[in-house]
Amino acid sequence: MLLFAGTLARSGDARASGISLDFPRTEDGPGIKVGGNSRVHPGFALGVGYDSNVFSTNAPRSVRDAMYLAPTGWIGVGNRRIRNGVLDSPVEASARLVDYNLSAIGGYRSYLTRRETVKDASRFNMSLRGRLVVAPARRFSLALNEDMSRLGEPRNFEASREYHFDRLHNSFSAHAIVRPATGRLSLRFGYLNRYLYFMATDLSTGDRTVNGFEHESKWRFRDRSALVVRYQWLWTFYLNCCAQPGTGRNEDSKAHRAWAGFVGQLGRRAEMEALVGYGYGRYEFDVNGPNFSKPIGRLGISYFPTPRTRLQVRAQHSFQDALFGNYHVTLGGEAFASHQFRWKMLASLGAAVSQRHTAGLPVPGRETQDVAHYDAATDARRTYKREDWLYSGQFRLEQSIGRLFVLGLHYTAHVTDTSFAIYYTNGDISPGAYQRHRVMLVGAVRY
Nearest to 165, CA basis, from 15, 317, 310, 343: 15
Question: Higher-confidence residue: 306 or 287?
Answer: 306
Please give the pLDDT value at position 1: 40
The whole-number pLDDT of residue 267 equals 84
Tell me: pLDDT of 95 over 60. Answer: yes
pLDDT at 242: 60
Mean pLDDT over the full length of the chain: 87
Q: How confident is the model at residue 15 (pLDDT cuts 50, 70, 90)?
A: very low
**Euclidean distance between the first and the last CA atom of the chain, given in angstroms as a whole number:** 47
* DSSP character at residue 182: T
Average pLDDT score over residue span 40-50: 96
Asked if residue 149 has pLDDT above 90, the reply is yes
CA gap 7, 10 in Å, rounded? 6
- Model confidence pLDDT, tens digit, residues 263-283: 999 888 999 999 999 999 998
Burial of 364 (0-12, 13-18, 19+ CB in 10 A): buried
pLDDT(399) > 70: yes
Q: How confident is the model at residue 249 (pLDDT cuts 50, 70, 90)?
A: low
Indicate if the pLDDT at residue 252 is higher than 70: yes
- Residue 367's identity, in one-letter code, is E
Distance between CA atoms of 79 and 379, rounded to whole angstroms? 56
Closest CA to 323 of 29, 5, 73: 5
Q: How confident is the model at residue 9 (pLDDT cuts 50, 70, 90)?
A: very low
89 — pLDDT class (breaks 50, 70, 90): confident
Q: 304 Cβ partners below 8 Å, 6+ apart?
A: 269, 270, 310, 311
Burial class (CB in 10 A: 0-12, 13-18, 19+), 382: exposed
Cβ atoms of 416 and 435 closer than 8 Å: yes
- How much is the CA Rg of the chain, to the nearest whole Å? 23
d(CA 269, CA 272): 10
Give the mean model confidence (pLDDT) for residues 242-266.
Answer: 80
Q: pLDDT band for position 173 (50/70/90)?
A: very high
List the Cα angle 49/127/85 in 5-degree steps. Answer: 100
pLDDT for residue 13: 38
Share of the chain above pLDDT 90, in %: 61
pLDDT at 176: 97
Mean pLDDT of 308-329: 94
| DSSP letter for each residue of 223-234 | TTEEEEEEEEEE
Cβ–Cβ < 8 Å for 373, 385? no
* Averaged pLDDT for residues 427-447: 91
pLDDT of residue 377: 61
Q: pLDDT digit string (tens) for 51-60?
A: 999 988 887 6
